[in-house]
Structure 1
Amino acid sequence: MLLNDEVTLLRQVPYFSRIDPCKLKLLAFTSARVCYRPGEAIFQCGDASDSAYVIIDGTVELVVSGPSGENVVGSAARNSIIGEMCLWGDAPRRGHARAVTDVEVLRIGKDCFLKVMADNPRMGIEVSRALAETLRDRANGIGKRPVAVLEPAD
């Protein structure tokens, strides 16, 4: 896929919709396309929080393990981003993401993601809004944005 195609793809993700195309090119250039087969782990509980994943195609389930076994707490599909909330801390992941179908993702490294966010106040606002909604929903017991369940709670 061409760099411009990946920029177009990133623009479909709400966090990146208003980011300067040059910054999106940086994200696209420094990111890696990775494919997973059904049942494969994209990341696992205990893994380092070193990347966010933009889902290009396919469906991913988000899972946490508890005393009663695995619990699917949500899913994500095309134009979604997963694992991003964990990038602000150094804690390991608290859950895992597993491919339900054939999945293709764009893996964005932590350093690049945070650099682009620091250079783009609008992106910081979008991420802050998503985090606030997650915390509000968790406090209300709704779980609207279950990805946050996978992230460290402070």
Structure 2
Amino acid sequence: MNLNEEVELLKGVPILSKIEPAKLKLLAFTSERVNYAEGQELCHQGDPGDAMYVILGGVADVLIDTPTGQIQVAEMKKNDFLGEIAVLCDVPRTATIKAREPLSTLKISKDTFYRMVGEFPTMAIEIMRELAHRVEDTNKKLREATANKAA
């Protein structure tokens, strides 16, 4: 895939959609294209967060370690992003991400991520929106689990 094709893919990512094409080209150029085979981990829960990822193609499972083993809590697919919590909060990875099928990603370093958020406040707003949606989804699942446990 060439640089222009990557820019076209990045335009479809909600957090990047309002960034001008020239800046997306710079982002694509300064970021690393990383492919993963089925079953391969992008990152492991507890590892340091040095980058975030944008999924360009494929599907990945979001897995959380529990006392009884890993459980899947979400799936990520084309145009989704992940790893932003570890980068933003400077905390270890909150989940393990594993490719369910061959996966193509754009790995954005912490420095590049901060530069992009600083230059494009709309990107920060879109990230906040997505994080808020994720919190609401988690709260909904917790409410359902609590209701089922009480029944």
**What TM-score comes out, normalization by structure 2 length?**
0.87
Aligned residues between the structures: 143
Q: Which has the larger radius of gyration?
A: 2
Q: 1:43 aligns to what?
A: 43
Q: Is the 8 A contact 2:10 2:16 kept in 1?
A: yes
Q: Counterpart in 2 of 1:65?
A: 65
How far off is 1:133 after superposition?
Answer: 2.3
How has the CA–CA distance of structure 1 residues 123 and 142 changed in structure 2, closer, same or farther, with 3 Å as cutoff? farther
1:3-152 equivalence runs, <5 A = 3-141=3-141
Q: Give the Cα–Cα distance (whole angstroms) in 2 for the partners of residues 111 and 56 of structure 1.
A: 21
- Does the 8 Å CA contact 1:27/1:113 hold for their aligned counterparts? no
Q: Greater helix share, 1 or 2?
A: 2
**Residue deviations 1:49-68 (CA, integer Å, cap 9, x gap):** 11111112211001001011
Question: Gapped runs of 5+ residues in structure 1?
Answer: 144-154
CA distance in 2, matches of 1:100, 1:88: 26
| SS of corresponding position for 1:19 | coil
CA distance in 1 between counterparts of 2:39 and 2:65 reads 16
Q: CA deviation at 1:109?
A: 0.8
Superimposed CA distance per residue, residues 21-42 of structure 1 (whole angstroms, 9 cap, x where no aligned partner): 2221121011111111111111
Q: Give the TM-score taking structure 1 as reference length.
A: 0.85
Please give the alpha-carbon distance, in whole angstroms, between the structure 1 residues aligned to 2:33 and 2:24: 15
Summarize deviations over 1:57-88 as a string: whole Å, max 9, x none. 21100100101111000111112111123211
Cα 1:7/1:65, change in 2 over 3 Å: same
